[in-house]
Amino acid sequence: MGKREKHKQKHDRTQRDRSYYLQDNDNDTTQPAENEEQDEIEDADDENNDDEQNHEHPSHDLPSKFLLYQQSVQSPKGDISYLQKFFLMYVGGRMPLHLQEDFCGTALLSAEWLRSDPRKTAVGLDFDIEALNWCLENNIPKIGADGFSRISLFHGNVLQPLQSKLVKMNPEELVRSISLSQNTENLQTDGLESDVPTSSASQDDDELTVKKFPQNGRDIVCAFNYSCCCLHKRAELVLYFKHAREALSTKGGIFVMDLYGGTSSENKLKLQRRFPNFTYVWEQAEFDIIQRKTRISLHFHLKKEQRKIRHAFSYSWRLWTLPEIRDCLEEAGFRSVHFWVREMPDTSEITRTEGFGAGKDIKYEETTSFQQKDSWNAYIVGVA
Mind listing the pLDDT tens digit for each residue in 103-160?
A: 999 999 999 999 989 999 999 999 999 999 999 999 999 998 899 999 999 999 999 9
Task: Give the whole-angstrom CA distance, residue 174 versus residue 141.
Answer: 8
Parallel/antiparallel/unpaired status of strands 376-383 and 336-343: antiparallel
Strands 220-223 and 307-318: unpaired
Residue type, 204: D
Band of residue 63 on the pLDDT scale cut at 50, 70, 90 = very high
> 109: alpha, beta or left, given left = phi > 0 and alpha = psi -120 to 50?
alpha
For the segment 50-78, the average pLDDT, to the nearest whole number, is: 76
pLDDT of 193 strictly over 80: no
What pLDDT is attached to residue 35? 40
pLDDT at 55 (0 to 100): 38
Distances in whole angstroms, Cα of residue 208 to Cα of each of 146, 148, 204, 339: 21, 16, 7, 37
pLDDT at 197 over 70: no
Q: Give the closest residue to 42 by CA, choosing from 368, 354, 281, 220.
A: 281
- On average, the pLDDT of the chain sits at 81
Is residue 372 within 8 Å of residue 263, measured between CB atoms? yes
**Beta-carbon neighbour count of residue 235 at 10 Å?**
10
218-232, 264-278, 349-363: which range is least confident on average? 349-363
pTM for this prediction? 0.80
- b/e for 174-191, b at 16 or more Cβ within 10 A? beebbebbeeeeebeeeb
pLDDT for the residue 348:
80
Distance CA 220, CA 254 (A): 5
CB 83 within 8 A of CB 96: yes
328 closest CA partner among 244, 241, 230: 241
Residue 66: partners with Cβ closer than 8 Å, 6 or more residues away: 1, 105, 106, 131, 134, 138
Largest CA-CA distance found in the chain, in angstroms, rounded:
59
Q: Which of 75-89, 97-111, 174-188, 301-315 has the lowest mean pLDDT?
A: 174-188
Residue 42 has pLDDT above 70, yes or no: no
CA distance 58 to 48: 20
**Which residues face 295 on adjacent strands?**
316
**pLDDT > 90? residue 49:** no
Amino acid letter for position 170: N
